[in-house]
């Protein structure tokens, strides 16, 4: 499970900001909120869900974009010749930062062992430094350290990695300046770094505003004998019944997108081979084909279908699902239902995590969320974003009308709107 994500000097984020998912020692107002926290081992308590609020252009999407960049770099930078690491955008409004490296760091628990992995990268996309620490005992120890002078690897915790690097007279032949060591080791399925690499590789990152059209992958999931019933069951929880489905072969443009079309936050790649039709129970006799699913269902239902596969796989695998523009086109009751699935001990026994950015203030309910599950992103007059949790705001008691106080401006993270 992710316990924190830190980023510095990335887009509107100038100073080091931390998205903290460790549970605080709060006195919850309602007993039901106890299940919102996962207990990992004997020492750790971690939040299952996190909702992020902020005004337009406050930087909340930049925070999730930083997570997306982190995921992209770890999973794909191993081969810089075919997959180009996107250029980093440092904080532009400060002469000391616009040419400085950007920092990304993730802390996680894997099999109840804490790990801390991160790297810094230049605006040109070169890795400046990289590090991995673990706490197998009482003290944190370095697993590997990388800087401009080379790579130091622990012979105690990463024996095979150390042996592998020793086989090269030049480390750059194994890992280039534009590749992360973790990415290269993960690609070659090194067992020693799996506890860190695999949770990052299994992250699912979605831009909710772009989840508007069914793609071929989702169509096949709906028709799959194993996944289809699971998706229907999830939809039934939201009081949505699909009816019978029919797939018809459609146009297909083969080929993968080129590097310049690979974008962050899960932009939808339209690679449609199948057209899906709904067959309502009262279908006229002269209409054996049915109705195109996009015409028959609302945009909110289409979005839930698009998210359903990722939600199910995340819950089953105990992974992390990250969604920007969570509320786009979706009724607030659906948003609440998804958050409850992740908070619930019954529907989320594997302690999967959900991180969303949203404007849906109906999620600001003391019956649904703990104070440490609510995060705000605010932008100062200097253009720099700051990240803080509701539990960091003084004078807020559990059970308070969070939504009302947020909209009144008490917590910050809202736009300043002048009367027209």
Whether the pLDDT of residue 107 is over 70: the answer is yes
Query: Where does a domain end: 315, 349, 365?
Result: 315
Whether the pLDDT of residue 171 is over 90: the answer is no
Domain ranges, residue 196: 1-203+319-420
In angstroms, the CA 103 to CA 197 distance is 18
pLDDT of residue 221: 85
Structure tokens at 165: 């690097």
Residues 303 and 335 in one domain: no
Q: How confident is the model at residue 248 (pLDDT cuts 50, 70, 90)?
A: low
Cα→Cα distances 80→85, 164, 264, 272, Å = 7, 20, 17, 29
Structure tokens at 22: 């460790």
| Percentage with pLDDT > 70 across the chain | 85
Q: What one-character DSSP code corresponds to residue 51?
A: E
Residues 91 and 143 in one domain: yes
Residues 296 and 405 in one domain: no
In angstroms, the CA 47 to CA 36 distance is 6
Domain of 29: which CATH number? 3.40.50
pTM: 0.89
pLDDT of residue 83: 65
Cα→Cα distances 68→61, 65, 160, 324, Å = 10, 5, 29, 11
Q: How confident is the model at residue 261 (pLDDT cuts 50, 70, 90)?
A: very low
Using alpha carbons, select from 3, 37, 61, 43 the residue that is nearest to residue 263.
61
Q: How many domains does the chain have?
A: 2
Residue-averaged pLDDT of the chain: 87
Task: Tell me if residue 104 falls in helix, strand or coil.
Answer: strand
What is the CA angle 205-208-210, rounded to 5?
Answer: 105
Residues 105 and 250 in one domain: no
Mean pLDDT across 262-283: 50
Q: How confident is the model at residue 263 (pLDDT cuts 50, 70, 90)?
A: very low
What is the CA angle 47-346-390, rounded to 5?
Answer: 25
Summarize pLDDT for 38-70 with one digit per residue, the tens.
999 889 999 999 999 999 999 999 999 999 999
* 209 lies in some domain: no
Mean pLDDT across 78-94: 81
């Amino acid at each position: 499970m992710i316990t924190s994500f830190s980023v510095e000097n990335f887009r509107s984020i100038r100073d080091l900001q931390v998205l903290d998912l460790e549970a605080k020692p709060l006195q919850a107002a309602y007993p039901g909120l106890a299940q919102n926290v996962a207990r990992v081992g004997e020492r750790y308590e971690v939040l299952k869900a996190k909702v992020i609020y902020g005004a337009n252009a406050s930087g909340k999407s930049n925070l999730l974009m930083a997570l997306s960049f982190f995921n992209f770099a770890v999973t794909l930078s191993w081969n810089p010749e075919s997959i180009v690491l996107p250029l980093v955008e440092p904080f532009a409004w400060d002469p000391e930062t616009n040419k400085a490296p950007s920092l990304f760091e993730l802390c996680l628990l894997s099999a109840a062992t804490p790990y801390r992995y991160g790297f810094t990268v230049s605006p040109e996309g070169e890795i400046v430094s990289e590090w991995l620490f673990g706490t197998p005992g009482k003290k944190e120890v370095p697993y590997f350290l990388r800087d401009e002078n080379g790579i130091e690897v622990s012979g105690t915790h990463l024996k095979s990695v150390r042996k592998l690097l020793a086989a090269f007279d030049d480390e750059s032949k194994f890992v280039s300046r534009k590749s992360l060591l973790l990415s290269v080791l993960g690609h070659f399925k090194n067992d020693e770094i799996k506890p860190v690499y695999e949770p990052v590789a299994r992250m699912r990152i979605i831009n909710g505003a772009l989840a508007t059209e069914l793609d071929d992958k989702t169509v096949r999931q709906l028709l799959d004998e194993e996944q289809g019933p699971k998706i229907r069951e999830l939809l039934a929880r939201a009081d949505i019944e699909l009816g019978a489905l029919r797939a018809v072969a459609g146009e297909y443009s083969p080929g993968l997108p080129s590097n310049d079309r690979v974008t962050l936050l899960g932009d939808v790649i339209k690679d449609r081979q199948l057209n899906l039709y709904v067959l309502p129970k009262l279908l006229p006799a002269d209409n054996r084909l049915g109705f195109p699913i996009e015409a028959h269902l609302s945009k909110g239902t289409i979005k839930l279908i698009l998210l359903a596969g990722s939600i199910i796989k995340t819950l089953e695998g105990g992974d992390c699902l990250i969604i920007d523009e969570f509320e786009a086109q979706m009724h607030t009751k659906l948003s609440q239902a998804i958050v409850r699935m992740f908070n619930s001990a019954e529907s989320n026994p594997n302690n999967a995590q959900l991180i969303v950015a949203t404007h849906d203030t109906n999620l600001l309910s003391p019956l649904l969320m703990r104070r440490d599950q609510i995060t705000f992103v605010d932008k100062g007059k200097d253009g720099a974003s700051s990240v803080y949790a509701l539990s960091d705001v003084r004078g807020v008691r559990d059970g308070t009308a969070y939504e009302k106080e947020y909209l009144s401006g008490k917590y910050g993270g809202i736009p300043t709107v002048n009367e027209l």
